[in-house]
Amino acid sequence: MLSSDTIFAPATGSGRTAVAVVRISGPGAGPALAALIRAPLPPARRLSLRTLREPASGELLDHALVAWLPGPGTATGEDMAELHLHGGPAVRAAVLRCLGGFPGLVPAEPGAFTRRAFLNGRMDLTAVEGLADLIDAETEAQRRQAVRQLDGALGRAVEGWRAVLLDVLAGTEAALDFSDEGDVDDEVLTAAGRDAAAGVRDAIRMALADDRRGERLRDGVTVVLAGPPNAGKSTLLNALARRDVAIVSEMPGTTRDAIEVRCDLGGLPVLLVDTAGLRDSADAIEAEGVARSRRRIDQADLVLWLCEPGGAAPPPLPVPVLTVATKGDLPAAASDGLTISARTGFGLDRLLGEIERFAQGALGAGDALVTRERQRLALERCLHHLDRVVAHGVTLPAELVAEDLRLAVRALGEVAGRVGVEEMLDRLFASFCIGK
């Protein structure tokens, strides 16, 4: 699916850098490069030192390393060129201005290069999502998971399952097409298909039985700081974040909106959430903050219930709770449980250790195949149809078996981005930076 437009964009950051890389992709990449160097194209897939000049005036732009990359064996599946410029902002701006003057060349939108790679079959959707996650990765565990997806861990599994189901579907449709022929045994085909579908079903079940480790690793284990007003939640958040992110005041009800901070604990991503103190309030704004706090608590992976020594125990909550006695620097702060002082640092190492151990347990030791809710929902739809095939494949009419198999294959196609993902693609590619 080659585009008639040729796109270009810087692939390196703005500002002063040692080298600035500009990428060009599309049918005009070769002519644009030849015009810039005012010479035949250099040897393919090699970096060559060339002088770049403004085509019309001959003005010197830069001495640069250039690469000519003819398609389809390129990152985007199209003809590509790369310009490795000196990294000054003015050099980069002059070259980009020159490229913008070529007919048919347009500045790339965010994610445009990756979109072309996807549309031209160089990447499936799971690999694209892996690339997006790799760009956003903040911890070592997130990086490892993203690289596995980019390398095709889920994509290969899905294509294998899809190939098996397509074979089963072909056999079922053959039984339909030749049902009036005496040499076609419909029951044998259906039984064989059922057994093959059962194997795929079991593999998908195993992939889904991961307690959502992949999604948790992408988003971070959510740890909500909760408790009554003035329990020290905001002070603790600032101490754990090692910067002032929340306002600290002796006045109860200071925190209204939830405040989020992402942390790296032993290579694991943790999302700390400071919430409003839980109490009844006549103040409408504070009451709304308390209601939001309760919702965040219900969605948490772990709640740190903060209270002063001897304070009230946490109410029954639907998630794991770790009770933490705060203000451990005060004389009356003795406690048999976990006691901390966010002001002096007393007990913080122990608290961080408890959070890290919880995160390790929540994320598990194995690698997760499923890393996004979109993938999980599509696999669950596939599983629904395969359950019907396996449970009733011998007794159901062949037409219904074939339809369930078609829908199962379609659901796997959605995982890989083959069908039904057009609206989602715009949102996904918009999250990429320009030049990616």
Question: Residues annotated as binding site for Mg(2+)?
Answer: 234, 255
- Residue type at 250 in one-letter notation: E
Distance CA 280, CA 255 (A): 14
Q: What is the DSSP string of 301-341?
A: SEEEEEE-TT-PPPPP-SS-EEEEE--TTSTT---SSEE--
Q: Which residues are documented as binding site?
A: 23, 82, 122, 230-235, 249-255, 274-277, 341-343, 436
Sign, CA dihedral 123-126-130-131, equals positive
Distance CA 242, CA 16 (A): 30
Query: DSSP assignment, residue 17?
Result: -
The C-alpha angle with vertex 308 and arms to 304 and 312, in degrees rounded to 5, equals: 75
Distance CA 433, CA 93 (A): 18
Are 52 and 127 contacting, i.e. CB atoms less than 8 angstroms apart? no
Q: What is the DSSP string of 373-436?
A: HHHHHHHHHHHHHHHHHHHHTTTS-HHHHHHHHHHHHHHHHHHHTSSS-HHHHHHHHHTSPTT-
Q: Which residues are documented as binding site for GTP?
A: 230-235, 249-255, 274-277, 341-343
Token pair 């002082």 in the structure block, residue = 341
Structure tokens at 129: 């999502």
Of 381, 352, 368, 375, nearest to 216 (Cα)?
A: 368
Whole-angstrom CA distances from 210 to 277, 287, 411 are 34, 37, 20
Token pair 């290579």 in the structure block, residue = 267
Token pair 């997760």 in the structure block, residue = 368
Q: Which residues are documented as binding site for (6S)-5-formyl-5,6,7,8-tetrahydrofolate?
A: 23, 82, 122, 436
Q: What is the distance of C-alpha 175 from the center of its chain?
A: 42
Structure tokens at 278: 């839980």
Which run of H or E residues covers position 285? helix 284-299
Are 48 and 42 contacting, i.e. CB atoms less than 8 angstroms apart? yes
Question: SS3 string of 208-273?
Answer: HCCCCHHHHHHHCEEEEEECCCCCCHHHHHHHHHCCCCCCCCCCCCCCCCCEEEEEEECCEEEEEE
